[in-house]
Amino acid sequence: MTASAFASIFLLFLTISLGLRLWLAMRQIRHIDAHRAAVPAEFAEKITLAEHQKAADYSIAKTRLGINSTIAETALLLGLTLGGGLHALYNFWAQLFANGGYAHSLALIASLAVASFLVEVPFSLYRTFRIEETFGFNKLTPRLWLIDTVKGAALGAAIGAPVILAVLWLMGAMGGRWWLHVWLFWMGFNLLVLLLYPTVIAPLFNKFSPLEDDSLKARIEGLLKRCGFTSAGLFVMDGSKRSSHGNAYFTGFGAAKRIVFFDTLIERLSPPEVEAVLAHELGHYKHGHIKKRIAMLAVLSLGFLWLLGQLIEAPWFYAGLGMPYQGTAVALILFSLALPVFTFPLGPLTSALSRKHEYEADAYAASQTQASDMVTALVKLYRDNAATLTPDPLHSLYYDSHPPASARIAHLQGSQA
């Protein structure tokens, strides 16, 4: 393949990807706005018109911001590749690190991370302090936002730099099968993060306190015993410190698994509803969804690394993306930049698999608790989180990891019958 041919293919896929993203976003806005005037019949007794319209306006505001963010990200991608931005950064750092090596590679990767952050930060600020604030969800102060940002950057550098150095060393030292060694290292690193996240990483950003409500604790422990599930503890996270959104989740791996409830979730749901939400999360474990996702990550990452192994010696791959220089760091960067452009059309497949898992977890919750409790919990979560009840079907099919509210509740009610 020639460099010009690859550049043309890249531009074609990028254009299709951008056009599809914008088209789906506009469909979402039009569809939600067209159904803004009336609450869907199945929710009419549970959600007021004002709540429905708040969810519609909130969803539209986020989608519009997403359009602008997508355009900015695409412009950055073009600027770094065909626009020569990566080439210019490479030359800039080469003047400071004349001998090249790992210092030059780390500086190049770090400068790209900074560029990406600078493009994203205005959208993050607008999302937090304009949209989330307007709709009553934001609890972050500018000071806390800055502290979180600095912590995140420091943590990313502390973890990312050694990981990148290890990957670059493996790429250069392990011969033609370097991609297999990198894959083994990468999977080991991901499993280590799963193990350490609950006790080492998460407490850097939030406070986790043992669940103190004795009646709720007894109810949950009864559910865990019925399901044959053990955990390292039941914890309440101070989610209200940053947002009024509510959720519950499992974190950790193996014996380090923790059950975490947002404090906002416990405040808003009744004990039977909290139990039903937890049963749903247990369903993911009982059906092996976590293991399946790890296995899928393993297969995909192995395939992508193998593909990079085939491209790393191809001059057209570098030149087609605006780089006259070859090397392990440059190959890794270009591959990371270009891969999402070519894999975006696969989005509906991963979304469909995720929705299938959600249905299975809902069915498990209905088998262990009252389906009606899960239904009322979902309605409250949709209402309190201002999640739209009327997403565009195609947009939902492409992006949504969870089924639409009406389909999900109908499935639960069917299992109850």
- Shortest CA distance to 382 belongs to which of 268, 267, 240, 259? 268
| Catalytic residue selected from 273, 281, 358, 384 | 281
Contact of 259 with 339, CB cutoff 8 Å: no
Respond yes or no: is residue 362 known to be catalytic.
yes
pLDDT of residue 255: 61
Sheet harboring 258-262: ordered strands across? Answer: 208-210, 234-237, 258-262, 248-251
The verdict on residue 180 lying in a domain is no
Task: State the total domains in the chain.
Answer: 1
Structural domain of 38: 3-175+321-344
Q: Phi, psi (5° rounding) for residue 49?
A: -60, -40
- With pLDDT > 90 as the criterion, what percentage of the chain qualifies? 65
Tokens of 135: 């709709």
Question: If you ran DSSP here, which 8-state letter would residue 201 be given?
Answer: I
Tokens of 47: 């959600």
Rounded CA separation 26/383 (Å): 23
The verdict on residue 403 lying in a domain is no
Question: If you ran DSSP here, which 8-state letter would residue 136 be given?
Answer: T
Tokens of 255: 């014996």
pLDDT of residue 306: 96
- Residue 394's DSSP bridge partners are none
The verdict on residue 290 lying in a domain is no
| Catalytic residue selected from 358, 362, 384, 392 | 362
pLDDT by 10s per residue, the chain, length 417 = 899 999 999 999 999 999 999 999 999 999 999 999 999 988 988 999 999 999 999 999 999 999 999 999 999 999 999 999 999 999 999 998 877 789 999 999 999 999 999 999 999 999 999 999 999 889 889 999 999 999 999 999 999 999 999 999 999 899 889 999 999 999 999 988 888 888 888 888 888 888 888 888 888 889 888 888 877 778 888 888 887 777 777 776 666 677 888 888 888 889 999 999 999 988 998 898 988 999 999 999 999 999 999 999 999 999 999 999 999 999 999 999 999 999 988 889 999 999 999 999 999 999 999 999 999 999 998 998 899 999 999 999 999 999 998 999 888 887 665
Q: CB neighbours of 20 closer than 8 A, spacing ≥ 6?
A: 344, 345
Q: Phi, psi (5° rounding) for residue 209?
A: -115, 145
pLDDT of residue 354: 93
Contact of 390 with 56, CB cutoff 8 Å: yes
pLDDT of residue 237: 87
Q: Phi, psi (5° rounding) for residue 231?
A: -140, 170
pLDDT of residue 98: 74
Contact of 383 with 48, CB cutoff 8 Å: no
Say what angle helices 405-416 and 371-384 make with each other, to 10 degrees: 170
Tell me how crowded residue 217 is: count the other CB atoms within 10 A of its CB.
14
The verdict on residue 315 lying in a domain is no
Which pLDDT tens digit goes with each residue over 349-375?
Answer: 999 999 999 999 999 999 999 999 999
Cα angle at 102 between 100 and 105, to 5 degrees?
A: 75
The verdict on residue 73 lying in a domain is yes
The verdict on residue 242 lying in a domain is no
Which pLDDT tens digit goes with each residue over 86-137?
Answer: 999 999 999 988 777 899 999 999 999 999 999 999 999 999 999 999 998 8
pLDDT of residue 235: 87
Contact of 186 with 303, CB cutoff 8 Å: no
